[in-house]
Amino acid sequence: MKVLWLQAAGCGGCTQSLLGAENRAGVLAQFADAGLELLLHPALSEASGDEALALLRAAASGDLPFDILCIEGALLRGPNGSGRFQMLSGSGRPLIDWVRELAAQARTVIAIGSCSAFGGIISSGENLTDACGLQFDGDQAGGLLGPDFRAAAGLPVINVAGCPVHPGWVVDTLLALALGAFSESDLDPWQRPRSYTEQLVHHGCPRNEYYEFKASAQKLSDLGCLMENMGCKGTQANADCNLRPWNGVGSCVRGGFPCISCTEPGFEEPGHPFMATPKIAGIPIGLPIDMPKAWFVALAALSKSATPRRVRENSRSDHPVILPGTRKSGPK
């Protein structure tokens, strides 16, 4: 399967993340083993200048058949719908015109990262560039290609959302497509692959013991749960970051930073500081998914009353000050 990758408005962080995919031979070798040929990538391909433009023209006209179009970065429709805020270098044409033409030829279209999926960071604030995603404008269906868009294979845009996207999410999606093992039923309501959104960031979080006892961090360097005071949305965010961490070891929470739910539309403008938990009468506004408020309040009160001294003291320190006790094994 032939893959064509373009970078729109963004930081290039999703490509940087992809290069950290866990494969000893490198992600490009992994693609080659799966029968995926990367026709063009602005940062990774040898082709550039006139050679790259000739390839794009052939792909857009249908003279060069290809299978998968990957777009990284938000699409800039401004000013006044012209798209001229971002021109494809050397072509004299707005990038969004190229994206529309190439999407019409592709068998499958993939949004790489939250910017190309929903607009992301690029669309925040006043959005003077009129940035949007491929098939969503924030949480509203539409975007550049419109809500009714279907690629030649019959799928809507596949939104591999994240900021940056986890390399495993991209690789899994591309390999599933290469194997013919991906259908519309594999997408969640935001058109994200269920392979990673059927879990929560909370699953596998190393701070889960502190969450269970509601032993909360008071500052970023503390070991305690980051939900109550530090703005962590791990109990609400659809992603498996702590079940398969970056490079086998890393995630936001493991690095001491709260989850900001970067896989969902609108994460870039939560309406409050990222590292603060908004509350009403002392109760966090954003409660864990599927948990009624009354249950959370009752559970929190019970948990705090039963918090072991070790957990309580360690939650307010940057290192364990009380170690777990030991117990002789054997029949009890």
Q: Encode pLDDT of 104-148 as tens digits.
A: 999 999 999 999 999 999 999 999 999 999 999 999 999 999 999
User: Helix (H, G, I), strand (E, B), or coil: what is residue 225?
Assistant: strand
Token pair listed for 292 = 């009624």
CATH of residue 296's domain is: 4.10.480.10
Token pair listed for 260 = 């900001």
Q: Is 262 annotated as a binding residue?
A: yes
In this structure, the answer to whether residues 45 and 125 fall within a common structural domain is yes
**Domain assignment of residue 83, given as a range:** 2-196
Does pLDDT of 23 surpass 80?
Answer: no
Does pLDDT of 25 surpass 80?
Answer: no
pLDDT reported for residue 282 = 83
Q: Is 241 annotated as a binding residue?
A: yes
Q: Which of 127, 162, 196 is the last residue of a domain?
A: 196
Who contacts 217 (Cβ-Cβ below 8 Å, separation ≥6)?
A: 210, 223, 224, 225, 226, 229, 230, 315, 316
298 part of a folded domain: yes
Instruction: Judge contact between 316 and 229, C-beta under 8 A.
Output: no
Kindly report which listed range (110-119, 284-293, 302-311) carries the lowest average pLDDT score. 284-293
Instruction: Judge contact between 136 and 158, C-beta under 8 A.
Output: no
In this structure, the answer to whether residues 137 and 285 fall within a common structural domain is no
**Residues 158-196: pLDDT tens digits?**
999 999 999 999 999 999 999 999 999 999 999 999 999
Q: Which of 166, 196, 226 is the last residue of a domain?
A: 196
pLDDT reported for residue 17 = 94
In this structure, the answer to whether residues 139 and 210 fall within a common structural domain is no
Does pLDDT of 44 surpass 80?
Answer: yes
Question: 121 φ, ψ to 5°?
Answer: -55, -35
Q: What is the mean pLDDT of residues 26-36?
A: 90
Which residues of 35-142 form beta strands (DSSP E)?
37-40, 68-72, 75-76, 87-88, 93-94, 108-112, 131-132, 136-137, 140-141
**Residues 239-279: pLDDT tens digits?**
999 999 988 889 999 999 999 999 999 999 999 999 999 99
255 part of a folded domain: yes
Does pLDDT of 332 surpass 70?
Answer: no
Rounded-to-integer distance, Cα 74 and Cα 37, Å: 24
- % of the chain surpassing 70 pLDDT: 99
Q: Give Cα 47 distance to the centre of its chain.
A: 28
Q: Is 14 annotated as a binding residue?
A: yes
Instruction: Judge contact between 291 and 283, C-beta under 8 A.
Output: no
CATH of residue 94's domain is: 3.40.50.700
Q: Is 202 annotated as a binding residue?
A: yes
Q: What is the mean pLDDT of residues 221-241?
A: 96
Token pair listed for 238 = 């659809």
Q: Is 70 annotated as a binding residue?
A: no
* Residue 28's pLDDT band (cuts 50, 70, 90): confident
Q: Is 232 annotated as a binding residue?
A: yes
Q: Is 225 annotated as a binding residue?
A: yes
In this structure, the answer to whether residues 155 and 18 fall within a common structural domain is yes
> How many domains does the chain divide into?
2
Token pair listed for 98 = 């190229």
